[in-house]
Amino acid sequence: MKTPYYVFVFFVLLILNPVNAQESVFVSDFIERLENSQKYVEQVAELMPAEKYQYRASEESLSFAQNLMHIGFALNWHSKTLLGEIKTPTWQEDTVYKTKGKSKKEMIAIVNATFKEAISVLKQLDSNELENLLDYFGLDRTKRQICLLLADHITHHRAQMIVYLRLNGITPPRYVLYQ
């Protein structure tokens, strides 16, 4: 007795479905992580007094404000250019994420808006594209790797901002529920 073709197709789809479910779980988990990261970055940024936004730990370090805006620039570039395939300005061309002439309030608003835009791009990301390879400064990286790299990058610069708070005698917000 021959097995009907549709039974074979049904079993293949059944086997592949958990893979697709895992991929979409990755994207939704990453979106949740970015939403939590946005809240934490905003809390850190709010704690530093406006007059200390140009504070830097050493001459060659980025200032508090530059770290904040660099988070925004990198989030925008990685999410739109690499994940969303929407061309954005390079660092040299950019004017939005430069600190000059911007108040603390304006910088926080720009970074918050960027988080929302990045999350919007991710919500449109087809989870089947997560394994697509991209050229990342001469290295082959998947879109999944770009997401992980982006999370690390945000953490790296936010951690510098936290150290700057401490160096100015300010207790940073607790790192609870922001994983």
Residue list for the binding site for a divalent metal cation: 70, 153, 157
- Rounded to 5°, the CA angle 161-106-167 comes to 20
Integer Cα distance of 100 and 73 in angstroms: 14
Which residues are within 8 A (CB) of 158 and not within 5 positions of it... i.e. 6 or more apart? 37, 40, 41, 44, 67, 71
Render 86-97 in DSSP notation, one character per residue: -----TTT--TT
Report the binding-site residues: 70, 153, 157
